[in-house]
A and B are shown apart, each in its own frame.
Chain A
Amino acid sequence: MIVAGQLALLTAFITAGFSAFALLAGTACERRGLQRAGTVSAAACLVLLTAVTAILIRALLARDFRFACVAEGTDRLLPWYYSLSAFWVGQAGSLLLWSWLLSILAMVFGLWPRSGREPLRPTAFGILMAYLGFLLAVMIFGADPMQPSLEASREGTGLSPLLQHPVMLLHPPIVFLGYAGWAIPFALAAAALITGRLESDWVKQSRPWSLFSWVVLGCGILLGADWAYEELGWGGYWSWDPVENGSLIPWIVGTVLIHALMAWQYRGVLKKTSLALAVATFALCNFATFLTRSGIFSSLHAFSQSPIGWMFLAWMFVLLAGGFVLLLVRRGQLRPQQPVRSFWTRQSLLVLASLGLLLLALVAVAGTTAIPLSRILLGRAIVVGPDFYNGVLVPVGVLLLVTISLVPLLSWGRPPTGEQKRAIRLCVAGGTVAVAAAMLGGVRHPLGLAVVAAVAVTVLSLAAALVLEVRQQQPSLAWPGLRRALGQHRRQYAGFIVHLAFICLAVGVTGSSLGTQRYEATLAEGEAINWADRKVRFVRWIEQRLPDQVVVATELEIGGERAKTFHLLPARHFYTLQRIWTTQVAIHADWAGDFYTILHDNNGQGRASFTLLVNPLMRWMWLSGGVALAGTLLALWPARRSASQHVSERHGGNDPRD
């Protein structure tokens, strides 16, 4: 099977290369037959990669330790689903997953039936296949997933206990799906720049793929934070580690790209920015791989290091240099059509928020690369801590909250009407009342008050925008008017739902950052303490033996005069194969916050040491992922095409509210 897999991988590389050549040459020479051959080769490549993936999955499930991936990532006692997750734990397997997902997306992109007149598609498809060829070359020459195990082993080294968590079944594949997705807006931008077809066609095609990749990568990052929160047992979820930053930076730049595409589509502005951002987002996905594999950064994530990191860095510089040269060549075709004339318009706030986000991304890049940069510039290696990032995150976050809260009541290209101005004043008054109420409720921190104001103004402005819309549609019939407004401008309101997701994220991050309480306790069995308005009682020790681990848990009873009593079981697990202990935190979550408990140790006299934490509003952070997903799905849902839309499209018009 190993040889069959290696042959399939090699053939996939050849077919990907031929497919890229056939699609690009066939388009350049206008030879349909060559284009068709390219598409057939791409399909063959997908079949071959599916075969390689199936071989590795079978080997993982059968614990075939002749495969190095299997021997290094599983053992016989590991449950089948964690054994499957060893697919993406190693470098070679994760590259195979990335390639396979990219080949699926490339085929969907290449064959998705749309209007039929999309001249950029074959070129972009060819670029995607060329990138797939690069990934396959990296695998063949640097990280072979079909590599045989050097030692004939009857037992594997097992999967790190820290990775034996349900979230780890989802987090890596979702992040790789996001990376694969960002290749498509890049391919479209590159195709538009190469062919000189810079009309809004590439924008329309890029939009759904950008939204898809954005929400997938965002959910992947959130799942990673959830894993850190539940598995690493330090009470936090984000440490600005280079590997975490690696996936966050393209996500931030991708957020700006989505908004820049809207500005191009509706107002004909930010054209050079949109193309540059499409290239940069994808280049940064490659940079993330360089971060994890080069070994030159001080990261807490121990990925295996290899020369493939440098291959991705070289590829990133090729992308950036190529994109810059093409932008320079095409700059004459990329002049803005309708420059911004008033500050109080959607595109002005969009530009301002985008600037803030790009600066945040730049700061994250600077902080992440501080060690090699300072070595080159100062001769000494310097690292920066979380204060460096948080110092910028706070003003940028406030800027985003302000822009998000005002956007529903502003228009593209023209200053607000009298009605809109009145509504803005009412919303700001509502925000002021909310701040006063929060102060009466005990909130004192300026950032907390800013978030309260933003939540109130955003909800009110969204409601006010709907009311104004309904009045315009059918002043006498509220419900039909509402339905019509939501139906006609579904994408706009879907965007506002995604903005609400950001508000949820801000609530969660601010609450858990400002209001965390921590207490270190050492308790004997039956002993109780009063802390954070609750009574915490250590009920008993529990010991359990499982086939591959020993579990030592404690039962804690947490109650209070004003709250329901609940029981938590913080534990420590000893994994017999790896011979290491891991901490399993126990969390009670509700909308007010999390009660988070960590068991440290038996101190030798039957007493147990605990860390107790109250992390307020954490659930709102996880909720943001679901809200963003719902909003994005709503935005991506195919629209029913009416006769008026056909006419509008023929005239090249776009409804700025869609």
Chain B
Amino acid sequence: MAGAVVVAVTIYMAFAGASASWQYYLTADECLAREDTLAKDRLRVGGKVAAKTLQVSSDRRQIAFTFQTAKGRLAVLCAGPPPDNLVEGMDVVVEGRLKGPGLLQGEKLLTRCASKYKSSSADASGKPSEAAAARRP
């Protein structure tokens, strides 16, 4: 009897937690392709920050960039402060909702904490991105 109660409560709480927190997980290209059907959904979008698009406000409270996509343009606006290792060309995940055509309003920006460091600040030519070095505290 007590075991049945524990199982029932756990299933109920897991279901309630899942309904409150689930999000579609998409790549930036998938998000653009299905833009029309995702207007009301919570999204977690993963992709690379496109070169020369990352902008951080002077007080570091606002972040803007564009995802690198094969076709089209997906811009992101997100509240800061940005993670330390955020640089152009790196893989990031943005949690938020679509606010208009090609615009993702992010609530949270996640970068990968480098359990294995790969020189993420290097661009295709192997040189460090100037954007990474340009920011000063």
Stretch at the interface among B63-71, B79-87, B97-105: B79-87
Residues of B close to A160: CB separation below 8 A? 114, 116-117
A300→B112 contact, CB < 8 A = yes
- B125 interface residue, CB < 8 Å from A? no
Contact with A383, one of B13, B44, B84 (Cβ below 8 angstroms) = B44
User: Residue of B at shortest CB range from A292?
Assistant: B115
A602, CB-defined interface residue at 8 Å: yes
The answer to whether A388 and B114 touch (CB under 8 A), given A298-B46, A355-B7, is: no
**A-side contacts of B26, CB under 8 Å:** 381
Report Cα–Cα, A436/B127, bound state, in Å.
Answer: 64
Give bound CA distance, A280 to B114, whole Å: 29
> A645 at the A/B interface (Cβ < 8 Å)?
no
Output the nearest chain A residue to B56 by Cβ-Cβ distance: A601
Q: Is the CB of B14 within 8 A of A583?
A: no
A609 part of interface (Cβ distance < 8 Å): yes
Instruction: Give the residues in chain B near A304, CB-CB below 8 Å.
Output: 116, 118
B18 close to A384 (CB less than 8 A): yes
A380 and B84 in contact, given A302-B118, A580-B132 (Cβ under 8 angstroms): no
Task: From the candidates B7, B9, B117, name the one contacting A158 in the complex (CB within 8 A).
Answer: B117
Residues 95-137 of B at the A interface (beta carbon under 8 Å): 110-119, 121, 128-129, 132-133, 135-137
Contact A162 B22 (CB under 8 A): no
Chain B residues with CB under 8 Å of A381's CB are: 24-26
Distance A601 CA – B44 CA, assembled complex (angstroms): 27
Nearest-Cβ distance from residue B122 to partner chain A, whole angstroms: 9
State which of B23, B59, B129 has its C-beta within 8 Å of the C-beta of A601.
B59
List of B residues within 8 angstroms of A243 by Cβ: 115
The contact of B113 among A91, A162, A370, by CB within 8 Å, is A162
Q: Report, as a range, how many residues of chain B touch the other chain.
A: 35 or more
Are B22 and A579 in contact, with the CB atoms below 8 A? no
The listed residue with most A CB atoms (<10 A of its CB), out of B9, B16, B80, B133, is: B9
CB proximity to B under 8 Å, residues A486-526: 520, 522
Which residue, B6, B16, B24, has most C-beta atoms of chain A within 10 A? B6
Chain A neighbourhood of B137, CB < 8 A: 552, 572, 574, 581, 599-602
Given A303-B116, A579-B121, A599-B137, are A387 and B25 neighbors across the interface (CB < 8 Å)?
no
Residue of A nearest to B34 (CB): A380
Q: For the complex, what is the distance from the CA of A355 to the CA of B6, rounded to whole Å?
A: 8
Q: Find out whether the CB atom of B21 lies under 8 angstroms from the CB atom of A384.
A: yes
Q: A580-B84, A609-B81 are known contacts. Are A385 and B21 too (CB-CB below 8 A)?
A: yes
State the CA gap A91–B46 with chains docked (Å): 24
User: Are the CB atoms of A363 and B14 closer together than 8 Å?
Assistant: yes
The answer to the question of A578 belonging to the interface, with a C-beta cut-off of 8 Å to chain B, is yes
**Chain B proximity mask over A284-319: 1 for CB below 8 Å, otherwise 0:** 000000001000001111111000000000000000
User: A466 interface residue, CB < 8 Å from B?
Assistant: no
- Across the interface, which residues of A come within 8 angstroms of B18, CB to CB? 384, 388
Q: Which residues from chain A contact B119 at a C-beta distance below 8 Å?
A: 157, 578
CB of A389 within 8 Å of the partner chain: yes
Contact yes or no, A395 B21, CB < 8 A: no
- Cβ–Cβ < 8 Å partners of B113 in chain A: 162, 228, 232, 300-302
Set of chain A residues within 8 Å of B136, measured between Cβ atoms: 552, 574, 601-602
Beyond A352-B3, A579-B128, A580-B121, is A162–B114 a contact (Cβ under 8 Å)? yes
Chain A residues whose C-beta falls within 8 Å of the C-beta of B115 in the assembled complex: 89, 163, 243, 292, 301-303
Q: Which residues of B contact A223 (CB under 8 A)?
A: none
Q: Which residues of B pack against A, CB within 8 Å?
A: 2-3, 6-7, 9-10, 13-14, 16-18, 20-26, 44, 46, 58-61, 80-81, 84-85, 87, 91, 93, 110-119, 121, 128-129, 132-133, 135-137
**9 closest A-B pairs (Cβ-Cβ)?**
A391-B17, A385-B21, A160-B117, A302-B112, A388-B17, A387-B21, A160-B114, A572-B137, A391-B13
Beyond the given A302-B112, A391-B14, please list 8 additional residue pairs across the A-B interface where CB-CB is below 8 A. A160-B114, A385-B23, A399-B6, A522-B59, A552-B137, A580-B85, A581-B137, A603-B58
Q: List 24 A-B contacts (CB under 8 A).
A: A90-B116, A157-B119, A292-B115, A300-B113, A301-B115, A302-B91, A302-B116, A302-B118, A360-B10, A381-B25, A387-B17, A388-B21, A392-B10, A392-B14, A395-B9, A522-B59, A552-B136, A572-B84, A574-B136, A578-B128, A580-B87, A583-B84, A600-B60, A601-B60
**A residues lining the B interface (CB < 8 Å):** 72-73, 89-91, 157-160, 162-163, 228, 232-233, 243, 292, 298-304, 343, 351-352, 355-356, 359-360, 363, 366, 370-371, 380-392, 394-396, 399, 520, 522, 552, 572, 574, 578-583, 599-604, 609, 611
